[in-house]
Structure 1
Amino acid sequence: MGNRRSKWRFSLHRSSPTTPKTQNPQSPPEEFVCPISGSLMGDPVIVASGQTFERSCIQACKNLGFTPTLPNGSKPDLASSLMIPNIAIKATIQNWCDSHSVEWPKSIEGGEAEKLVRGLMGSDDEEEKGLGLGLGLGLGFEVSEKELLESVKNTPPGKFVHAATELNRRTTSHFYSSSSEESVVSTIPDTPLPLATRPCCYSSSSSSSLSSEIETLLLNPNLLSEEEEEMIVKLKSSQVFEQEEGVISLRKITKSKEELRVSICTPRLLSAVRSLLISRYLTVQVNAVAAVVNLSLEKSNKVKIVRLGIVPVLIDLLKGGFPESQEHAAGALFSLALDDENKTAIGVLGALPPLLHMLRSESKGARNDSALALYHLSLDSSNRTKLLKLGSIPTLLTLAKTGDLASRALLILCNLAACSEGRAAMLDSNAVECFVGMLREIELGSDANAMRENCISALYALSQGSLRFKGLAKDAGAVEVLRKVMERLSNRARDKTMKMLEMMRSPTEREGHQQEWENIVGSILGSGVMNWNHNKGDGGANSSGF
């Protein structure tokens, strides 16, 4: 603590931007001096833990995710956004300045405060610096996109320069074998397609062997907390064969021993793995990112991994990693996006463009995981706006009409249709004609039923609050198609279909052909459906509250 404490003791003459030309030899009382800047406080504020700091200095600490250690060894509470102006101490400082012929101190500018804080951060070890990004995410105060991006810029993930040859290159595909995905029904209404909760690259089988030393360490949680340094030393070794041994062992243990994933997912271990994600050696890079996928499967690890700055490296892997690394990176981002706290941050950090690009990947697993990542990220309103600005609608409509991503592309489009800007962009891109055409061509089968109902959901979303929908739907022949597919739909989808058909009828048709309309609906659904027609007054033709 001695070295760190001395760094806090800036002299007033050296640090203060408000030092007068004629400095009084008497030093100010310690409580008048900001522990961060070492100068008289011009705008003192009290934080939640009771200490007083210069406002701009404490704000810089928050922006950079840095918690300083004070001269007495304590740390201020920066998790709360609370900063109360200390009017009493400010007035006392000004009185002291008047009595000692010293100019009143002025507030330190943000740039100068940030420079001071960065100087203090320079004395911390690598693991502590790695926490900078995460302290702003979900710990009680809001972080802007600019602040998130600034934090990432200060710890760049590095560039990939793949070596022409790899030392001890191994085939790694056997560590993950394909298997059926563990699935649950989506929690979002109107999306009947079951959504996977684990990336395609994950399976429960593994055939690689562990070194006895690491196996003993990882299989014994009690030893893990005491001997973690030994594992980290192996991962941080300058010898590539030791790095390989470490990441392969970590990959297997995080796959086969689910109960250990939380206990071994420490900041120090993640920091060591993070440095190997940009390795030039295929075996090291692939196994490192695969281990991240395994760790991300535990809910309590998801936010921690994002906070420790792993996402920017995963994004770089999508852009320029080895093909197998790209597949695992897409899977990791999908897994991390399942947590609501991560959705905004992942979008802010720039994951959306490379994920969209990966929809064209040669790897089926990478395509599927990228699509599922985009689906979960598009549940966030800010990410929907970003996807619209990226011009994603035409690409997604093309994928919805053809290829193995049709169902997933439809789900993303349903999310984008939840906002007015998304509906307008989809109408401009002939989405109505596209969805009606898909309904006309969809055949029988369980997957076809899910596709059909997702098309109905997308059409219904487009019909809400849009004066253009009626004309576009009629031009596309929607009335005939909707009547034809209605008998194959679930009750919920039927309700939507009938409301769309009702909306597309003209006022004349409603007044003069009511009985004919009831006969048409009755012929499809039976006489019992008349209760719907007589009891729909509470919602109206365009109501979405059902």
Structure 2
Amino acid sequence: MEEEGPVEAEALAAFAEAEVVVRGLIAAVEGVAAVSDYRNAFKKQFGNLARRLKLLAPMFEELRESSSMAAAADQHHHQISGEAVAALAPLREAVDSAAELLRFGSQGSKIYLVLERDHIMKRFQEVTSQLEQALGRIPFDKLDISDEVREQVELVHAQFKRAKERIDTPDIELYNDLTAVYNKSTDTDTDPAVLRRLAEKLQLATISDLKQESLALHEMVAATGGTDPGENIEKMNMLLKKIKDFIQTQNPDMGPPLKDITSVSGNCDPKSPVIPNDFRCPISLELMKDPVIVATGQTYERGCIEKWLGSGHNTCPKTQQSLSNTSLTPNYVLRSLICQWCVENGMDPPKRPGTSNSHQPTKPTSACSPKERANIDALLRKLTSPISDDQRVAAKEIRLLAKRNADNRVCLAEAGAIPLLVSLLSITHDASTQEHTVTALLNLSICEDNKGTIVTSGAVPAIVHVLRKGSMEARENAAAALFSLSVVDENKVMIGASGAIPALVSLLSEGSQQGKKDAATALFNLCIFQGNKGRAVRAGVVPTLMSLLSEPGAGMLDEALAILAILASHVDGKAAIGAANAVPMLVEMIKNGSPRNKENASAVLVHLCGGDLQHLAEAQELGLMGPLVDLALNGTERGKRKAAQLLERINRFLEQQNLMQAQVQAQVQAQANSQIVTDTLAVVDQ
């Protein structure tokens, strides 16, 4: 038997590689063909992609047959060259990418697909471009395929080429309806007509449909490894629940309610009460036993967040913000609410790890010495004295004690100072006493354990009253107190609903430098909660922020841009910023601002220019392109992302402008040619 030479060995290797590539292509197309329906907002796009891939199947079959026949006839003369194999390998990658996208389209969450439409459309464009380029490199003259199949493949190539150059936007009404419901924080004020349209367009009309969508969202949670489901998953869960509740209201006989879709490891007993989302750890999705607060104000189960931090992470899992420190503060208020909910629902209250029924917990040692405690008790007696001078003096002393150190803050809380201070703040009309009392509460709130006590003692309405009516120093310290309390997520809702936001906007305009900063930080923190963004816009915060931007010497650029960036994601905020002629200032910030200001200004512009050609044209005319390119290359990570988004939108806008200009020029030329013909005929007639 003759040994094979180098050329034959190379041919054999090419043949073996070709076999693998061709079989992989056939398997991928067969997988696509097995899916018959894409019941989602991208049905047309997924259907077109699947149909085009299936049209490539005859070529892959002919390649397999020709290779098999050649191998059977003479293994020394193979049909597929190394060059052809090299050209087919990128096609295999492109087809695999398309098949993966189609699998996601057939099995993924319908709600997710709509909400992430920009990302999905980008994936369509990437896959389409990848397929078009791969098909364009196929060396037909080196492949043994029939003319009919070659013509069909060239037709598919042309279709992908056309598809690459245009974007088919999915149902706009569906997207707007879904985002409107998605961004509502509560079940109130949801238009039944909107829910009806969503149920119809998403084809969520039966228990089976709802269960399938529930499982798809479940898979998304599971795909995160149980470490970071995030706020978006929670909001999608709530959105599906609204649709489910609406459908069951319209069809009472359709069956029992669905189990909460985020309950990935809970009790499957249908009689078990659904655990409120606020009581679940965002990491494990289970009922919290020992809730603790991290530096960003988010609450987690102690064991879960300790494991997260222990694995080397230094960010908040839910918000992805960097943690300024890794201290964990017990969330006693939330734990109390969880225990109350358990009792009301006939469940045993959760016991924190390390506690047991047989051993009573040891009473913590007081941070106060007997002498210090006696001094504090004397101050508290003065605080409740009917004599206003005694009240004022006592409030001042408590203010100073609470400012001095952490032990004093603990001692004062242990002695019961907080409810007495809140009571005094609610009734006193003395400006000096108001100032000392609200500042004492501010200083006490520095201790994380005291925040819950301050809120549950009814302090928020009294603090807001001082914020509106007090002296300037009292107003500023009231703003600082609200900021401190709003670090806890549960308090953001209460403070926003208390009427604090208009008073904070007024202080942002009227206060001293420190007062403005306190008001700004409080507003930023409150506006993290979606429901407070509209309140801030209605209170006139946008014109105030624009005024601060026009005064660089005021030292409020960082704060003003940070608040604008968070408001721009709200429909009312976006409209107010656009109406305030903000684009020139934002462009100037991107050109000459600090790295932080550049990223926030670009974040605002991303929202403003989304679908608004006027703002986009204005930004481009103001010379934004150069600074944006620099920001995309040298900015902060967030700045780079926002700059890239803006550059993409501006480039798309310029392409549309050039296309329109070309069409106008063609029309003008056609009219000119027509006139020339008319004039020529007129001369001939003469």
TM-score, length of structure 2 as denominator length:
0.40
Greater relative CO, 1 or 2 (CA 8 Å, sep 6+): 1
Instruction: Name the structure where helix makes up a greater proportion of residues.
Output: 2
